[in-house]
């Protein structure tokens, strides 16, 4: 299936340096894993408290790639992070969209769970 990059802010209720990870967010990542996807936490260049990632037990990177080798997804709360990405990296804005989000991000989801369900459905319907 696909690699799914998820900003740390998505997992921690909008806190850019981590904070506590929401249990619903952890469950959403588990759904991705159970369906054969590989979630990767994007910590950002500012770093994060390693303790915040401990409950996730997931691979982490500083930033999602601009041009991944394989098709992938990127879940973010920042519309500006959708810009400049390859078509191989489908961007999903989590939360309330602004007018500019529609032109910069590939899609919008109200929360992480909705984004995960959209990804699972899209991947299941993709030609094999």
Give residue-wise pLDDT tens across range 29-76.
889 999 999 999 888 766 555 455 555 556 888 899 999 999 999 999
- The set of residues, in sequence order, having a beta carbon less than 8 Å from that of 4 and lying 6+ positions away, is 32, 37, 38, 39, 40, 72, 73, 74, 75, 119
What is the predicted pLDDT for the residue at 71?
93
pLDDT of 1: 76
Please tell me the total number of residues recorded for the chain in this structure: 128
Angle at 113 between CA 112 and CA 115, to 5 degrees: 65
Q: What percent of the chain has pLDDT over 90?
A: 40
Q: Which of 12-16, 32-36, 95-99 has the lowest mean pLDDT?
A: 12-16
Indicate the SS3 state at residue 104: helix
Specify the pLDDT at position 21.
73
* Structure-model confidence comparison of residues 112 and 97, the more confident one: 112
Dihedral sign for Cα atoms in the order 122, 107, 80, 96: negative
- As a whole number, the mean pLDDT across the chain is 82
pLDDT at 5 over 90: yes
Percent of the chain, pLDDT > 70?
77
**Can you give the pTM of this predicted structure?**
0.86
Provide the pLDDT confidence category of residue 83 given band limits of 50, 70 and 90: confident
């Amino acid at each position: 299936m696909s690699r799914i990059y998820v900003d740390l802010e998505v997992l921690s209720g909008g806190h850019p340096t981590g904070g506590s990870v929401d249990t619903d967010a952890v469950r959403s990542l588990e759904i991705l894993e159970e369906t054969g996807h590989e979630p990767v936490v994007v910590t950002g260049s500012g770093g994060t408290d390693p303790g915040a990632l401990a409950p996730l037990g997931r691979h982490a990177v500083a930033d999602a790639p601009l041009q991944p080798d394989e098709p992938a997804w990127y879940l973010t709360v920042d519309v500006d992070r959708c810009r400049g990405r390859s078509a191989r990296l489908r961007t999903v804005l989590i939360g309330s969209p602004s007018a500019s989000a529609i032109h910069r991000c590939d899609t919008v989801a109200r929360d992480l769970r909705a984004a995960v369900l959209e990804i699972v459905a899209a991947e299941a319907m993709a030609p094999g």
